[in-house]
Structure 1
Amino acid sequence: MMRFRALMVAAATAMLPAAAFAAQPVTGKWKTEDGKAIVTIGHCGSQICGKITQILKSDRGPNPKDTNNPDPKLRDRPLEGLMILTGFSEDGDEWKGRIYSPEEGKTYRSILERDGQNGLKVKGCIAFFCKTQHWTAAG
């Protein structure tokens, strides 16, 4: 009986760190670091995704398009409504998936992580080199 109790305590203790490192939710509306857009992040089936839901500033005129896309057939699609975060799933205390950059017309491996109460760290990565942006809650 004593051995069983010790095993139960050890098992319960082993599960505590896993819960402590669970990823914080990233769903909601976020203003990009450059202040050009609002990205809404939500559930897409069992994963998390995000799309541009509002253009705040544009150097491409009114109703900007995905003009830097490498696929000529996609260059006429509007940026507003464009899915830029795809396939995100929880991995420890982070969310991992892919991010599309309309500025460059490229897709990168990405990591999302909450940064305090009103912040989101958004990383775009090539191999092990990552560039981080800090997005803020948009209400």
Structure 2
Amino acid sequence: MKLRTLLIAALLAMPAAVTHAAEPIEGNWKTASGATAAIAKCGGGFCITLKTGKHAGKRIGQMNGAGTDYSGSITDPETDKTYSGSGTVTGSSLRMKGCVLAVLCKSQTWTRL
């Protein structure tokens, strides 16, 4: 009888753990320049902050979304120019894209650390 009670308690606890799972975009990422960027919840979305490199501590973006697709804004830390941005998570890769007027776009792939 004790085993059954433990099993039921474990099964009841599972949905709580699943509903609190982190979004795929959350975590630390190695950028194309080799710096580490941390993506974490902030406000109603996700903030992107550089943790290492020349611009450590600088917030370079904000994204909204869920699952594998996110959109928002991205700032080039070298020029301080902000662009429309998007991010797509595929496994341990994050494809970041920044655009001016949705016509001139550049993208790079970040790797999960």
TM-score above 0.5, yes or no: yes
Residue 92 of structure 1 deviates from its aligned partner by: 7.9
- Equivalent pairs, count: 90
Separation in 1, partners of 2:88, 2:26: 11
Partner of 2:43: 45
Partner of 2:4: none
Q: Secondary structure at the match of 1:112?
A: strand
Residue 104 of structure 1 deviates from its aligned partner by: 2.2
Partner of 1:26: 25
Superposition TM-score, scaled by structure 2 size: 0.72
Separation in 2, partners of 1:102, 1:81: 11
Which structure 2 segments of 5+ residues have no match?
A: 1-22
**Is 1:82–2:58 an aligned residue pair?**
yes
Structure 1 residues 137 and 92: alpha-carbon distance in aligned structure 2, compared to 1, 3 A threshold: closer
Mapping of residues 75-114 of structure 1, within 5 Å: 79-86=55-62, 88-90=63-65, 93-114=68-89
Separation in 1, partners of 2:67, 2:41: 18
Which has the greater radius of gyration? 1
Separation in 2, partners of 1:132, 1:108: 12
Separation in 1, partners of 2:66, 2:27: 19
Superposition TM-score, scaled by structure 1 size: 0.59
Query: What's the % identity of the aligned pairs?
Result: 33
Partner of 1:134: 109
Residue 94 (structure 2) aligned to one of 120, 125, 130: 120
Separation in 2, partners of 1:106, 1:92: 27
Root mean square deviation of aligned Cα: 1.8
C-alpha deviations, 1:103-132, integer Å up to 9, x for none? 2221101001113x2100000111123211
Separation in 2, partners of 1:92, 1:109: 19
